[in-house]
Amino acid sequence: MDWSGRISKCGDRDLRRLLYAAATTLITQVRKPSPLRTWALRLQERKGFKKAAVAAARKIAIVLMCIWRDGTVFNPTQEANA
């Protein structure tokens, strides 16, 4: 059965923890505007903090995976395209 919208606990536990911590820091501590932070704050208003943090952690993981695969340099103005 496919549960859309659920996050599995597959993979490295420490990596999931670090991604969640990075997303939490992005939402609560970072003051520099970015498209990812703006998106996460809007999501937080609609769905709550924990769901927004998990979704932001997933987006961070996708950005990191694309950078690793392509060998490109991170550009915060292009993060919305990833």
In this structure, are residues 63 and 79 in contact, taking their beta carbons and an 8 Å threshold?
Answer: yes
Q: What mean pLDDT do residues 31-54 have?
A: 93
Those residues whose C-beta lies under 8 Å from the C-beta of residue 1, and which sit 6 or more positions away, are: none
| Domain presence at residue 21 | yes
| Domain presence at residue 71 | yes
| Domain presence at residue 3 | no
Report the number of distinct structural domains present in the chain.
1
In which residue are the tokens 């919208």 written? Answer: 5
| DSSP state, residue 72 | P
pLDDT-based confidence at 73, cuts 50/70/90? confident
Q: What mean pLDDT do residues 56-77 have?
A: 87
Residues in the chain: 82
| DSSP state, residue 73 | P
In this structure, are residues 23 and 56 in contact, taking their beta carbons and an 8 Å threshold?
Answer: yes
Using the predicted structure, report yes or no on whether residue 36 has a pLDDT greater than 50.
yes
| Domain presence at residue 2 | no
| Domain presence at residue 58 | yes
| Domain presence at residue 31 | yes
Domain extent, residue 64, equals 13-81
